[in-house]
Amino acid sequence: MTAPTPADHDSPYDLVGIGIGPFNLSLAALADPVPGFRSLFLDSRPGFSWHPGMLMEGTTLQVPFLADLVTMADPTSRWSYLNYLRHHDRMFRFFFSERFHIPRREYDDYCRWVAEGLDSCRFGAEVVALEWDERADAFAVVHRSEGTETRVLARQVVLGVGTDPVVPAALRGLMTGAHADRVMHSADYRTHRARLAAADDVTVIGSGQSGAEVALDLLRHQDGEGQGGPFVRWLARTTAFAPMEYSKIGLEHFTPDYIHYFRGLPEATRERLVREQWQLYKGVSGDTLGEIYDELYERTIGGGDPRAALHPGVELIGAVADGDGYVLTCRSQQQDEPFEVRTSAVVSATGYCASRPAFLKPLTDLVDWDDKGRYQVDGDYRVALDPRVTGTLYVQNAEMHTHGVGAPDLTLGAWRSATILNAATGRDVLPMAARQAFTTFGTPPDAARPDASGAAGPGAGAQLPADPAATSSGGPR
């Protein structure tokens, strides 16, 4: 390891972002035109890449194209998806295609176009340490590129390092060595897609969109009569393979209004709500469920029987290698009955979770963690730190426990980035409306409340104001 080189500039950056996924890329794009605001974004990968293991033909985003990197905060930005289309001479083709939900492969290409156009984004730069430098009164960000370490200073840092795959405990011992190409997380599915399509039997675990897309893709590798290709088994702990909530009013859970409401709830209530609201962010597109059903229906023509099995309400409790396959021990949760299945390969589409990056170790004792070891995050996405730290640390997509189910959703990405940018600059670079939803979450602010005897207090029977903004459940701080 070579000694760190001097900082790129003598003075600290106004903001350094660590990780360049869609959320930090959104912040980089929104910060790009701000005069005098110096920012730098670092990522260890050689270039932008968004869930490459799931970029299959025919898969689409679960949010409309307006939920790009910038539009929901600044529709005039040069980094919008529509400007991407114009830049690539595809505006009329997009218009005639009448797409509201764009292909995932195109979203990945759009983000890459933005990342390559921003001077503030630097790839191939692995952050190895984040420290607080008391003498400089700034964070020190040490990153490694081609064997050389560089140290830069920043008054503010935003963590956008993404999330890590979650795998059931029963499978963790089987995902290395000789088993790695037959037992995997869905994040690696595309890499092993051809081998899985040639297997005799593939078990997919997980009730979300990724699990549904893997199951559908494997079904389509069967021939038209369901012969050839693998037998496809789809297991899920949820009581049903349920569609994601996509009603117009239901989607208002992905508004700033709901975030403000959620943040004011007791911790125990927030924890319960995140579990109960799984269909808001873990459900499956209704179109995808329909396509799976249609594939199965096709197999029944002429008296056929689909080479597939769907098992909701099932928990994986054990897994062992057995010859050239695996034996999975499962339990029907409602019947409380164990059973076994034998399979040739397993794809664990069991989601992702936030984790603590190794480079944060020098700062660990200066972060005010909650009792579960998670960041404590305020309304501007600041992480609570020791008072000795005068700089500001922000976080993106690691705050579901404090901000609710919208944390990983692309819909709120530009709004959250704008919130962070406004806080980082100390002014409203991108002013945000106080109220965005028709729904009033929680008690109306001017509603009459009964006194201890149960009688209504002053103002009983008062009507709500006609102005929707007057009944806001909260506004940006």
pLDDT at 9: 52
Q: Which of 162, 195, 201 is nearest to 181 (CA)?
A: 195
Q: Is the pLDDT of residue 448 over 50?
A: yes
What mean pLDDT comes out for the span 454-469? 42
pLDDT at 445: 80
Q: CA dihedral defined by 456, 459, 462, 466, rounded to 10 degrees?
A: -140
What mean pLDDT comes out for the span 91-103? 96
pLDDT at 446: 79
Q: Which of 413, 437, 421 is nearest to 70 (CA)?
A: 413
pLDDT, tens only, 136-148: 999 999 999 999 9
Q: Which of 76, 72, 50, 74 is nearest to 63 (CA)?
A: 72
Q: Is the pLDDT of residue 463 over 50?
A: no
pLDDT at 454: 57
pLDDT, tens only, 198-232: 999 999 999 999 999 999 999 999 976 657 899 99
Q: Is the pLDDT of residue 460 over 50?
A: no
pLDDT, tens only, 253-300: 999 999 999 999 999 999 999 999 999 988 999 999 999 999 999 999
What backbone torsions phi and psi does residue 62 show, to the nearest 5 degrees? -90, 5
Q: Which domains does the chain have, with CATH numbers?
A: 15-164+353-425 (3.50.50.60), 167-244+282-350 (3.50.50.60)
pLDDT at 91: 97
Distances (CA, A) of 223 to 220, 234, 299: 7, 19, 9
pLDDT at 97: 96
